A and B are shown apart, each in its own frame.
Chain A
């Protein structure tokens, strides 16, 4: 019975190289197809149902990890990566084989031995668990805010923002030099900002924490906040006062 494989890498030089090396070290292996991106890799897998898939991790569009999730369990996966400590640790943990670029004959030989001797069904539950965990960990906060200024659209770095102020359905973005308008509600924006950097201090105001110079408490438990790089003062509402209690 012939063993079939696909090789997927966005760099064709590396696809060719791996195909040549596989031909030398495992002549019986039939490479049924190669692909340069995730989508065509999945199409290839559906067409040929290969026994083995060599998947590059970094690819345009779908990554190798995403392709792996879409492949049937009877396809054994070998990940290929140039340098990715995080992923490599995960693969060791999940007992999924991987190759580091540049691929050496000795290491590829070892992988081939493992592939020949491993059971036909790969248990991917650990890998899937890890991938899911990695996805939730990688919550990316808003770094650039697309905002209008006169007639132009500009991108404002989150670190330049002093505070946000709700203005009906829109939100004003106050920086050191000017005021921009974002066509989104402050609630939507707030959900995407890094909570370690931005604090909501009022239903309509979100301030960057390191811009807070001082917070003065009044008798009703509200705080008046003075800012480092702006002469505006902000007022917290009572329900957000706890943020400053220890200051």
Chain B
């Protein structure tokens, strides 16, 4: 148990009122017991009580005043014994003074009291320190269990968030309806939509199991998603990328980032910014390297966030943004950020700052 305590580096707290109460009870009990033992010196119950309480309270006081100090210099068990010895001696001095007016009474000719005092001191010490240590170890075990649970929870949350970032059933069925609607009238468009949907599905299934993708891979997904939405929304949605074709900047193109960080933000812009607007809008996605961080901005000209009052169901922000935010926090800590600002004249600009994470 001592090893456990030291391993966890526990700082002992000085005893409080609760310990004082137990201590007093213990002293009363000893005084009671001693009444029945053949005890040659004290004929009065009052005297036994005085001796018992003097010792008990002195030990308590010694712990209270010196406990923290001694723990800095000695191992816990040594300082416990030392404190008990100090408390015991002081207690006997005081008891002697009160009972017979002679502080050294119990150290001179009456060794029985000294022996009894030492015996009960040790009994008390063992009882209290075991109790205290048990409580501490129990608290530590609980804390360790809580920590572990929290870690597991965080891990599960990340996985869940990634799963949530995957393709929505509504989107899937809607896209399939569109393909069915197009298959006779515009077979080429139907074919292209199926190709885009395949790209999106495949990457969504593969990438959730991958730790890292390149920027160009993420943008391929974003484009496939936007092209599908364009079929659905037709003239109401347009989009641009800059740099449109970044073949010349290989480091930007191959920048590693966690999967599904950009696509959910674009999806959010479409679903909550542009789709609810009858006249539609446009999305502009931009990527560049700023001070060795990747800076991605996603600007839309949709409805934007409500000026007043809580966001209505159709406008403002969906769960997608909070999802990306919490994943960024778990994956990159404070090094990454997601900020949201108003776009002019309408809409929202989301800025993603992603540090380079070495594999």
Give the B-binding residues of A (Cβ under 8 A). 10-14, 16-17, 37, 39, 58, 60-61, 63, 82-84, 100-103, 138-144, 146, 152-155, 157, 159, 192
Number of residue pairs spanning A and B whose beta carbons lie under 8 angstroms apart: 102
- How distant is the Cα of A42 from the Cα of B173 in the complex, in angstroms? 26
| A residues in contact with B172, CB < 8 Å | 83
| A153 & B312 in contact (Cβ 8 Å cutoff) | no
**Contact (A14, B181) CB under 8 Å given A37-B278, A157-B340:** yes
- Among the stretches B106-114, B131-139, B231-239, the one at the interface with A is B231-239
| A153 & B341 in contact (Cβ 8 Å cutoff) | yes
- How distant is the Cα of A45 from the Cα of B182 in the complex, in angstroms? 27
| A residues in contact with B355, CB < 8 Å | none
Q: What's the least CB distance linking B269 to chain A, in Å?
A: 14
Q: 4 smallest A-B Cβ distances: which pairs?
A: A17-B181, A101-B177, A82-B174, A82-B173
- How distant is the Cα of A51 from the Cα of B181 in the complex, in angstroms? 25
Contact of B325 among A82, A153, A157 (CB under 8 A): A157
Interface string of B274-307 (1 = CB under 8 A from A): 0111101000000000000000000000000101
| B342 & A102 in contact (Cβ 8 Å cutoff) | no
| A192 & B309 in contact (Cβ 8 Å cutoff) | yes
| B275 & A102 in contact (Cβ 8 Å cutoff) | no
| B173 & A141 in contact (Cβ 8 Å cutoff) | no
| B170 & A82 in contact (Cβ 8 Å cutoff) | yes
| A154 & B233 in contact (Cβ 8 Å cutoff) | no
- How distant is the Cα of A129 from the Cα of B178 in the complex, in angstroms? 32
- How distant is the Cα of A39 from the Cα of B278 in the complex, in angstroms? 10
Which residue of A has the minimal Cβ distance to B318?
Answer: A143
| B316 & A13 in contact (Cβ 8 Å cutoff) | no
Q: What's the least CB distance linking A210 to chain B, in Å?
A: 12
| B307 & A144 in contact (Cβ 8 Å cutoff) | no
| A155 & B305 in contact (Cβ 8 Å cutoff) | yes
Q: What's the least CB distance linking A88 to chain B, in Å?
A: 12
B149 contacts A by Cβ under 8 Å: no
Q: What's the least CB distance linking A171 to chain B, in Å?
A: 14
| B residues in contact with A192, CB < 8 Å | 309-310
| A143 & B173 in contact (Cβ 8 Å cutoff) | no
B72 contacts A by Cβ under 8 Å: no
B176 contacts A by Cβ under 8 Å: yes
| B312 & A140 in contact (Cβ 8 Å cutoff) | yes
**Contact (A13, B231) CB under 8 Å given A143-B316, A155-B342:** yes
**Contact (A144, B339) CB under 8 Å given A11-B178, A16-B185, A61-B278:** no
Q: What's the least CB distance linking A176 to chain B, in Å?
A: 9
B40 contacts A by Cβ under 8 Å: no
| A144 & B305 in contact (Cβ 8 Å cutoff) | yes
- The A contact surface, by secondary structure, is loop
- How distant is the Cα of A144 from the Cα of B310 in the complex, in angstroms? 9
| B181 & A142 in contact (Cβ 8 Å cutoff) | no
| A residues in contact with B205, CB < 8 Å | none
Interface string of B303-340 (1 = CB under 8 A from A): 00101011111101100011001000000000000011
- Taking A82-B174, A155-B348 as known contacts, 10 extra A-B pairs with beta carbons closer than 8 A to each other, sorted by chain A number, are A10-B233, A11-B174, A60-B280, A143-B310, A144-B340, A146-B342, A153-B342, A154-B339, A154-B341, A155-B339
| A residues in contact with B177, CB < 8 Å | 14, 17, 82, 101-103
- How distant is the Cα of A141 from the Cα of B340 in the complex, in angstroms? 18
Residue in A100, A101, A153 with the greatest tally of chain B CB atoms within 10 Å = A101
* CB<8 Å pairs between A and B, sample of 27: A10-B233, A11-B178, A11-B232, A13-B181, A16-B181, A37-B278, A60-B236, A60-B276, A60-B277, A60-B278, A61-B277, A61-B278, A82-B171, A83-B168, A83-B169, A102-B176, A102-B177, A102-B180, A142-B311, A143-B311, A144-B305, A144-B316, A146-B305, A146-B342, A155-B305, A157-B340, A159-B325
| A residues in contact with B342, CB < 8 Å | 146, 153, 155
Q: What's the least CB distance linking B148 to chain A, in Å?
A: 20
| B234 & A12 in contact (Cβ 8 Å cutoff) | yes
| A residues in contact with B312, CB < 8 Å | 140
| A residues in contact with B309, CB < 8 Å | 192
Which residue of B has the minimal Cβ distance to A56?
Answer: B174
- Chain B residues numbered 239-292 whose CB sits less than 8 Å from any CB in chain A: 275-278, 280
- How distant is the Cα of A153 from the Cα of B340 in the complex, in angstroms? 10
Q: What's the least CB distance linking B153 to chain A, in Å?
A: 13
**Contact (A100, B310) CB under 8 Å given A11-B178, A17-B181, A153-B341:** no
